[in-house]
Every structure is written in structure tokens, then in C-alpha cells.
Amino acid sequence: MEKLEEIPYSVYTKSCPNCGNDITADRLYKGSVCESCLEDDLKFEDIRNLIEVLYKNNRLIKLKVLRNIFNEYNNIEKIFQIALNSKPLGPQRSWVIRFLRGESFAIVAPPGLGKTTFGLLMSIYNAMNGKKSIMIFPTRTLVLQAKDKLSKFSDAVSQPLQILYNKQSSDNKNENILKELVKGNFDIFLTTSRYLIKNLEDLLNVDFNFIFVDDVDAALKSSKSANSILRLIGFSEDDIQRVKSLLRENIEDEQKFGKIQEIRASKLGNRTVIFSSATISRGNPT
């Protein structure tokens, strides 16, 4: 890496990470902000230190969002510590940050890295903030396992949860579950892809803030399952057909990906969707 004295004097227009105004190269090199945001010429090794200095000087602008994310990350870290006796490990840290930024994304990681546990704990965090979550699993056995884990985590963090889950039962009990969901009398709903297909029209009336699809590879094996998940996320049949049509167009036409992104952004809104997969395949959502 070049030494500071070797970097020629230059000014980058509209590049201050805090206010968006002009900033010199040496200040960027030092991990700092422009003179308007911070008069003192300081060097920062950690962006959190920079954010706290700006906060104390009442100069936080764009970086205020990051401060809120870091504060919430600390809260989630405590949930992990209490529930698992461990802070988020390895890739879990980046998953948490992306979740807090409101990103929807696919997790592709080998078994044992805590993908499902991450989804369960994010659902608990959502419940603590008055938001509703749905977690979709390939089988009823996995639903029951998730329910048991959620109950243990709930007790550990002293957060009472209203957990609804579908199990093999009579049509009357199934109808009662749907009524509770529509009324919003739940925090987390655990279900299977098959149940989603069967009760899609009712579930479309439920406002889920967080959708977690466990083992998305299994869901994508069935076109009905894949379409039902897309409908639940907010995409209409017309949206799905339009994206399929765009994907069939000339592969060198990069503009089509921008159009697909526009459709995606317009439908997700404030909803966060995370797909979990243990393998990389052509069908993985991105």
C-alpha cells in the first residue's frame, strides 16, 4: 500500500461518505470525512470510531444509517450470545449486517454454518420489534424441529413468542390457524412448501415482514412451490411471466437485468426475503 506522502494531492468530487461533498485523497486515505464534516485532520482505523466522533460533534448525516445498523447489530449479538452462548460467527456476521440493511439475498453455504439458526434468531429479533415472520421448510419434521428450537431460544432470551405452525390435523384446526394469521395473532409462522401451495390465497392476506425459505433447492424442484413463494413475496403472475420473457432475451442485452431489478425493487417494498441453500445451482435466487 502506498504511504500517505506518496499520494499526490487530489480532490474527489461528491465523494465524502458522510455529506456527499468534495473530499481530498489524503482524508479518504485516513478513513475520514471532508473538512466540512470534521475540521480535525484525524486518522480512523475503524469506521465505528469515525461515526462516534461525528455523532459527538452532531455532524452525522449519511453515516447515521450505519450507526443505527451497528447499534442494532449489538442487540442481535446479545441475542446470539444468550441463545447460543456465542456471538455471530464467520459469515453469520455479514448475514446479520445485510439483514439490518433490509437486503433480500440468498445464503449459499455448506451445512453446519448456522443458516437455519440465523433465520430463527432473526425471526425472534423481528418479534421483539413487533414484526411478523414466516419460515418455509421442505418437510413437517423440519417445521417441528424449528418450533422446538424457537421455544428454547425464546425461553433463553426471555422473549415470549406467539408461534403458529402447521401440523397434520383436521381441516377445522387448519382453518383456525389461517384465521389467527389473517388477524395478525402471531409473531412467527412455521410452515411447509406444500402448505403454502394449498393455502396460498389465504396467506396472501397476511402481512409478513420477513420471509425465510429454508433449503430453497427443495422448493425450486416444484414449479408450483416456486411460483407460490414468488406470489407470497409479492410478485404477480404477470411479473413472473415478464421476468421469464426477459431472461429468454439476448443474453448480451444487459438492460434486461436492470428491468428485472426494477420489478424486484417495486414488489419487495419493506419486506426482507432470505433464501437458504447448501449448494450452488442454476436455480438459486440472487
* Model pLDDT for residues 189-219, shown as the tens digit of each residue: 999 999 999 999 999 999 999 999 998 888 7
pLDDT at 2: 54
- Residue 229 phi/psi, 5° resolution? -65, -45
pTM value is 0.85
**Same domain as 157, residue 45:** no
146 — pLDDT class (breaks 50, 70, 90):
very high
**Same domain as 103, residue 21:** no
Residues 114, 211: Cα–Cα separation, whole Å: 17
170 — pLDDT class (breaks 50, 70, 90):
low
141: CATH: 3.40.50.300
**Same domain as 21, residue 104:** no
217 assigned to some structural domain:
yes
**Same domain as 207, residue 141:** yes
**Same domain as 94, residue 50:** no
140, 141, 143, 145: CA torsion to nearest 10: 170
Distances (CA, A) of 281 to 59, 91, 220, 260: 46, 20, 10, 20
Residues 117 and 149: beta-carbon distance below 8 Å: yes
78 assigned to some structural domain:
no
**Same domain as 222, residue 115:** yes
Distance of CA 190 to the CA centre of its chain: 17
**Same domain as 96, residue 50:** no
Q: Which domain holds residue 152?
A: 89-234+271-277
Nearest to 61 by CA among 20, 18, 21, 101: 18
256 assigned to some structural domain:
no
Residues 47 and 61: beta-carbon distance below 8 Å: no
State which of 25, 43, 62 marks the end of a domain.
Answer: 62
171 assigned to some structural domain:
yes
**Same domain as 106, residue 17:** no
The grid coordinates listed for 231 are 406470489
43 assigned to some structural domain:
yes
Give me the number of domains the chain comprises.
2
The grid coordinates listed for 221 are 424442484
